[in-house]
Amino acid sequence: MTQQKMFLSDNAASVHPAVWNALRAADDPQPPYDGDRLSQRMDSVFSDMFGRECSALWVGTGTASNCLALATMVQPHGGVICHRESHIESDECGAPGFYLHGAKLLLADGEGARLTPATVETVLAGITRGIHQVQAHAISVTQVSEYGLAYRPDALAEIGAVAREHGLPLHMDGARFANAAAFLDCPPADVVGPADALSFGFIKNGGMDADAIVFFDPERAELARWRRKRAGHLQSKGRFLAAQILALAETGIWLDNARTANQAAAEIAGAAKGRLMHPVEANEVFVYLGAAERAALRAQGFAFYDWDDHSARLVTAWNTRQEDAAALGRAIAAL
Amino acid sequence: MTQQKMFLSDNAASVHPAVWNALRAADDPQPPYDGDRLSQRMDSVFSDMFGRECSALWVGTGTASNCLALATMVQPHGGVICHRESHIESDECGAPGFYLHGAKLLLADGEGARLTPATVETVLAGITRGIHQVQAHAISVTQVSEYGLAYRPDALAEIGAVAREHGLPLHMDGARFANAAAFLDCPPADVVGPADALSFGFIKNGGMDADAIVFFDPERAELARWRRKRAGHLQSKGRFLAAQILALAETGIWLDNARTANQAAAEIAGAAKGRLMHPVEANEVFVYLGAAERAALRAQGFAFYDWDDHSARLVTAWNTRQEDAAALGRAIAAL
Amino acid sequence: MTQQKMFLSDNAASVHPAVWNALRAADDPQPPYDGDRLSQRMDSVFSDMFGRECSALWVGTGTASNCLALATMVQPHGGVICHRESHIESDECGAPGFYLHGAKLLLADGEGARLTPATVETVLAGITRGIHQVQAHAISVTQVSEYGLAYRPDALAEIGAVAREHGLPLHMDGARFANAAAFLDCPPADVVGPADALSFGFIKNGGMDADAIVFFDPERAELARWRRKRAGHLQSKGRFLAAQILALAETGIWLDNARTANQAAAEIAGAAKGRLMHPVEANEVFVYLGAAERAALRAQGFAFYDWDDHSARLVTAWNTRQEDAAALGRAIAAL
Amino acid sequence: MTQQKMFLSDNAASVHPAVWNALRAADDPQPPYDGDRLSQRMDSVFSDMFGRECSALWVGTGTASNCLALATMVQPHGGVICHRESHIESDECGAPGFYLHGAKLLLADGEGARLTPATVETVLAGITRGIHQVQAHAISVTQVSEYGLAYRPDALAEIGAVAREHGLPLHMDGARFANAAAFLDCPPADVVGPADALSFGFIKNGGMDADAIVFFDPERAELARWRRKRAGHLQSKGRFLAAQILALAETGIWLDNARTANQAAAEIAGAAKGRLMHPVEANEVFVYLGAAERAALRAQGFAFYDWDDHSARLVTAWNTRQEDAAALGRAIAAL
């Protein structure tokens, strides 16, 4: 595998130089866990970013981030309304069942793996059998969705209104939150909208092994601290996780990295117009490609995953070179 | 805080230069999770170290390492015999209750926080009420114990015999396994003895955020993989965890680091003889020190934790300087 | 409410006289839990019924019966393939999530709420993402289904073959097993087919508060005993539960009661032919009835539940009088 | 075994005639679950008994009663302070671990298996390691204790004050609450004291298979309803459980039955004075008896359990005949 032609996933991409520098700079003796200088600064960095009081925790994976956030919202006998193609439903090996002690995922529809007020209401309307049925305790949306589509601020506001009406907190899986922010080109506060907690992905954004959970309610954050420790996610040298997050979030790098990735995806999308399964709004391009076509591209050195028998998923990352994206675009166009 | 006089804990010490080098070297594109070259080599490195077939998984904390190992041994309705001062009982915020789905810790006695065949048998003998009482499903020992004391190979063999007799698998919490190996000065296979799984600590040994779970039974390892993912501990850039572990375990550095730490502790212990609460066999020194004495030492720039009202715990690490240890020894002797 | 016109549910019907007699007869001092004479006879009664070695446990509800049976088959990180309209999915308030410690229900399709080999295979074929996805650990079928439809012995055998091929144990929710047996008119062994455990309903069959879990594998039964106690379902005066079950199962009453109920349902079905949503094979009749029609029937003293806006569910029980069923049939025909 | 000489346990004693009558009277068609007339009356019956607003739920066992009550108080990452010889710790096969999703029992001392403010404070004082240690979320006392000793109202008030000071709800395991009330001879409100929930035992009091959970806070009761259903304890013919409870609680029978049992125990105790391990305050008599002495008593037809190698536990029930108790007393005196 050579780096310049990798379109497999952003989840294993290289670590950004600024992150490396921050890691090395963090290697002086400091109090363990999150008692260090860097961890202590996380709240204020995110408070600045979102323009309101935040409590932020680092954690080693997106799965833990999603599950710990939801654990502050959902009791074991409750459920989470989420899209049936969401990551928590399909790709976390039942982690929500573990972290939420058996709570249920209540599956909703919606184009492009995005919920709508109507599809959320449909799930809620189906909960009619009282004590015999699992009740919704929270809603979870993914920004950007599994198909790389962004929720617009007004769409989020509408879902937030439904949530409020039913007394449900709102969680946002933001594994690619940065890509959404880059695409929407509006303040982070508008990208997160009315969510009560955000699982903010940095690992796909140039980090090594640190994501953040940003709580807009300090009580939830306190609760999450207990659950994080209990889940074995309170690292003793937590300063190294904080360092990664701050290196990206405190500077503009998180947004720059996302813009680079989005731009590369746009480059491919422009060349593959007739083949797109979904509009391209972030750093994922889903293209209809037959088996022979996929083989032809791979023969030219492009690495990517099949999506199904008739299509492929092409993912760009912060370190994708635009010339490689352009080359892939040309190769697809030439098929 | 200045590094040279820190005796707080080994859990937040600096990262060893060899680990930094390995981390940087791992930063090329590779398959995600544990599909990378480095993760793939872990089994053979530990198989070589222990002289028998091993399956090894990386994980981000010692708590997750202990709990995932135990999760392969204990059903939710069972229990784990462990010392009443063990880390899993006292310092993991109930993580075993979470990972084992409510299984119980069955507390045994033993000097210096070490189990003996007799104390294990006492717990087993107390399980007399059949269906009404939680049955033991496993035994967990800590090498070295919470008081820094090592199990001798023959002591382990005896506990292993009890375990076998009762059909119980044996887990070893080896957060400071390296320190035990350095002290016992015998092959790693003898330090782990009859344990079926070892939670092998590297974070306290110069690593950044990677410990290993070493299974001597490949089926257990397979089971642990599902549980690791489900607990949100399967990192996408797992190559960085493998890199840390290999940098220490594959070379002699893990043992060198432990020897350095042990030697520093021995230095202090030699000077504090009359005050020792426990023999010093690893890198922890428990000394009787009154409040005024502790204050006097701190005034001289030594940082450490109180153990209780009448004593202190002094911990050395791979990067403790012998002259600092010597200075601390002299300062105690001069009190 | 008057008994003779109740078609609400069989779950709250009266207790059969033979059960009352057995309860009274059980009221002499005996060892607690399941040490009494009656509990001790359960294994042999079901072994006789099914013609092979059985271990049977009493339990207070169908939900506990289903969940305890499944708990012997499914690990917390696994899943159960079941119909998306099954009781465990829809009507047990997430009890499987509790008893299985967060395991997932993997939903399959199939007409009349019955699985087919093909719909089971479809679910299995969708489990392609390895460690990231919950794997199937068991299959659960309902005999008769939520729509009152019976699995034929050959259909069960085919599902059993799929289960065996994939190494999955098979559970049968037999809340209305007796009604299936009455309809199929074949030996109980053929009604249960290749299932490894049967949740055998007696509460809907004239019992008061006792269902049985019948295991065809004694190891599973042993495991279930621990889980039953741990779930607070090991009653100290268990002899009263055993008494109920034996009063029905040991005599022909369980089958007679089911036949009576089925016959009453058939009576209604015969009169409501053009309106049936499903064939009527047991004691449930689903009929298309508009709001005005339902009101008209209720005005005549018939009690039943709406199924949805356009239909009603009519359930008969062991104590439904044939003349009431006939009257209901005539009333529907006359609409 | 003959009834008149049984001193094994009150948990398997006969069912009181009034309970039988109530059961038979309940056998008319009524709405399922707890929608029936009898279940609907439980709140007011206990409100009258305790002189304040109560919400009461029936449940099939004392274990479920204790665990469901605690489930409304304790989060999965918390703990329950209880006596180290309490039933929830020793005799429920880890049920609290199941119902509380891995929460920990924090064990306290106290003579006669009763907590004191001081022993509770000792446990609380030991919780010093912040995030690393399980925090107390509730306190549980047992009225009467495992050794048959009653908490006096002032003792309860003191424990209640500690609970309040630390913001902890208080649970009372009242498996033998009636015996406590009979002994203390004061209003039920004083016997329960400041407890927020009471697991009120009726099975040992002449019931068949129904205990009550009495909540003094309706929100907790609402929560418990979900958990009860999810635990498979919401019986469809719940009217039969309500009937049993009402038959005892609504009349004076619950207290009469306890008085009879206590009196029989007092009779034995009076004759066995020099041999008592504990004062006798309820229906349990712990007597020092050697192996030969126990054998001699059994030879005379008295049935009872050994407590340990040097003692026996003699338990009376509502249906123990005073002459049998007197005979046992004489037999002991004559040893």
Q: What is the pLDDT of residues C184-204, one digit of tens each?
A: 999 999 999 999 999 999 999
Token pair, residue B68, equals 């995932």
Please report, as a single letter, which amino acid is at residue A13: A
pLDDT band at C29 (very low <50, low <70, confident <90, very high): confident
Buried b (16+ CB within 10 A) or exposed e, B209-242: bbbbbbbbeeebbebbbbbbbbbbbbbbbbbbbb
B130 touches chain A (CB under 8 A): no
pLDDT score at D3: 47
- Say yes or no to pLDDT of A3 above 50: no
Q: Which residues of A touch D102 (CB under 8 A)?
A: 101
Question: What CATH fold (topology level) applies to the domain C17-252?
Answer: Aspartate Aminotransferase; domain 2 (3.40.640)
- pLDDT band at residue B23, thresholds of 50, 70 and 90? very high
Whether pLDDT at B30 is above 70: yes
Q: Which residues of A touch B232 (CB under 8 A)?
A: 59-61, 63-65, 67, 92, 95, 99, 231, 233
- pLDDT at position D235: 98
Domains C3-12+254-333 and C17-252 are alike in CATH topology:
no
Mean pLDDT of B108-135: 97
Residue with tokens 């409020």: A164
Q: Is B274 on the interface with A (CB under 8 A)?
A: no
Question: According to the model, what pLDDT value does residue B5 have?
Answer: 84
C-D Cβ pairs (cutoff 8 Å, strict):
153
> ipTM exceeding 0.95?
yes
Size of interface A-D (CB pairs under 8 A): 27
Please state whether beta strands B311-315 and B305-308 pair in parallel, antiparallel, or not at all (unpaired): antiparallel
Rounded percentage of chain A residues whose pLDDT exceeds 90: 97
Q: What is the 3-state secondary structure (H, E, C) of chain A?
A: CCHHHECCCCCCCCCCHHHHHHHHHCCCCCCCCCCCHHHHHHHHHHHHHHCCCCEEEEECCHHHHHHHHHHCCCCCCEEEEEECCCHHHHCCCCHHHHHCCCCEEEEECCHHHCCCHHHHHHHHHCCCCHHHCCEEEEEEEECCCCCCCCCCHHHHHHHHHHHHHCCCCEEEEECCHHHHHHHHCCCHHHHHCCCCEEEECCHHHCCCCCEEEEECCHHHHHHHHHHHHHCCCCCCCCHHHHHHHHHHHCCCHHHHHHHHHHHHHHHHHHHCHHHECCCCCCCEEEEECCHHHHHHHHHCCCECEEEECCEEEEECCCCCCHHHHHHHHHHHHCC
Contact A237 B15 (CB under 8 A): yes
3-state secondary structure at position D45: helix
Q: Quick check: C76 contacting A, CB < 8 Å?
A: yes
Rounded to a whole number of angstroms, the distance from the CA of C94 to the nearest CA of chain D is: 6
Contact C14 D30 (CB under 8 A): no
pLDDT, tens only, D274-290: 999 999 999 999 999 99
What rounded mean pLDDT belongs to chain B? 96
B-chain residues near C77 (CB < 8 A)? 226-227, 230
Q: Does residue A50 have a pLDDT over 60? A: yes
Contact A98 B230 (CB under 8 A): yes
Interface-testing mutation among A72, A74, A77, with chain D (most D C-beta atoms within 10 A): A77
Q: What is the pLDDT of residues A112-151, one digit of tens each?
A: 999 999 999 999 999 999 999 999 999 999 999 999 999 9
Does the distance separating the beta carbons of D101 and A226 come in below 8 Å?
no
| Residue C135 near chain B (CB below 8 Å) | yes
- What residue of C is the nearest CA neighbor of B35? C131
> Are A209 and B237 contacting, i.e. CB atoms less than 8 angstroms apart?
yes
pLDDT of residue A287: 97
Local confidence band at D238 (pLDDT 50, 70, 90 cut-offs): very high
How is residue B60 written in tokens? 């981000």
Amino acid at residue number C165: E
Mean pLDDT across D316-329: 96
Those chains having 3 or more beta-carbon pairs within 8 angstroms of chain A are B, C, D
Distance (Å) of CA B144 to CA A120, B160, B200, B250: 53, 16, 11, 21
List of chain A residues whose C-beta atoms are within 8 Å of the C-beta of residue C97? 76, 97, 101-104
Q: How would residue C1 be classed by pLDDT, with cut points 50, 70 and 90?
A: very low
In angstroms, the separation between the Cα of residue A249 and the nearest Cα of chain B is: 20
CA distances from C23 to C244, D190, D204 (A): 7, 37, 18
Mutation target for D interface from C176, C208, C244, C313: give the one with most D CBs within 10 A. Answer: C208
Digit-coded pLDDT (tens) for A209-252:
999 999 999 999 999 999 999 999 999 999 999 999 999 999 99
DSSP C194-254: T-SEEEE--GGGT-SS-EEEEESSHHHHHHHHHHHHHTT---TTTHHHHHHHHHHHTSSHH
Closest alpha carbon within chain A to D225: A131
Question: Which residue of A34, A74, A75, A233 is the best one to mutate when testing the D interface, meaning the one whose CB has the most D CBs within 10 A?
Answer: A75
User: Touching check for B244 and chain A: CB below 8 Å?
Assistant: no
Q: Hey, are the CB atoms on B131 and C76 less than 8 Å from each other? A: no
Confirm or reject contact between B3 and chain A (CB < 8 A): yes
Interface check for D205 against chain C (CB to CB < 8 A): the answer is no
What pLDDT does A115 receive? 98
In angstroms, the CA C129 to CA D172 distance is 48
pLDDT of B180 > 50? The answer is yes
The pLDDT tens digits of the residues spanning C268-287 come to 999 999 999 999 999 999 99
Tell me the CATH number for domain C3-12+254-333: 3.90.1150.10
Contacts of B33 in chain C (CB under 8 A): 131
Does B230 contact C at CB distance below 8 Å? Answer: yes
Chain B interface, mutation test: which of A93, A211, A302, most B Cβ atoms within 10 Å? Answer: A93
Q: Span D58-73, mean pLDDT?
A: 98
Partners of chain B (3+ Cβ pairs below 8 A): A, C, D
Give the closest-approach CA distance of B95 to chain C in angstroms: 15
A305 neighbors A284 (Cβ within 8 angstroms): no
D contact residues 4-43, partner C, Cβ 8 Å cutoff: 6, 8-9, 11-15, 20, 23-24, 27-32
Across the interface, whether the CB atoms of B131 and C225 are under 8 A apart is answered yes
Q: Which of C70, C91, C134, C146 to mutate to test the interface with A (most CBs of A within 10 A)?
A: C134
Number of H helices, E strands in chain C: 14, 10
Mean pLDDT for all residues in chain A: 96
Flag whether residue A230 sits within 8 Å of chain D, measured between CB atoms: yes
pLDDT in tens, B277-286: 999 999 999 9
Please report, for chain B, the start and end positions of each structural domain, with discontinuous segments joined by +.
Answer: 3-12+254-333, 17-252
Mean pLDDT computed over C11-22: 96
CB distance A76–C90 less than 8 Å?
A: no
Strand partners of residue B215: B55, B197
Q: Please compute the mean of the pLDDT values over residues B205-228 and round it to a whole number.
A: 97
Q: Is the pLDDT assigned to residue D2 strictly greater than 80? A: no
Left (φ > 0), alpha (ψ -120 to 50) or beta: where does D316 sit? beta
- % of chain D exceeding 70 in pLDDT: 99
pLDDT at D1: 40
For chain D, the chains sharing at least 3 beta-carbon pairs closer than 8 angstroms are A, B, C
Smallest Cβ–Cβ distance between C131 and the set A79, A93, A97 belongs to A93
Confidence of residue C3 (pLDDT cuts 50, 70, 90): very low
Any B CB within 8 A of D92 CB: yes
How many CB pairs below 8 A link B and C? Answer: 26
Answer yes or no: is pLDDT of A187 > 60: yes
Any bridge partners for residue B61, and if so which? none
* DSSP-derived secondary structure letter, C5: G
Option in A76, A93, A94 nearest C98 (CB): A76
Q: What is the mean pLDDT of residues C20-43?
A: 95
CA distance D27 to D50: 29
The sheet carrying D311-315 orders its strands as D284-288, D311-315, D305-308
Q: C46: helix, coil or strand? A: helix
C103: contact with A, CB 8 A cutoff: yes
Specify the pLDDT at position B268: 97
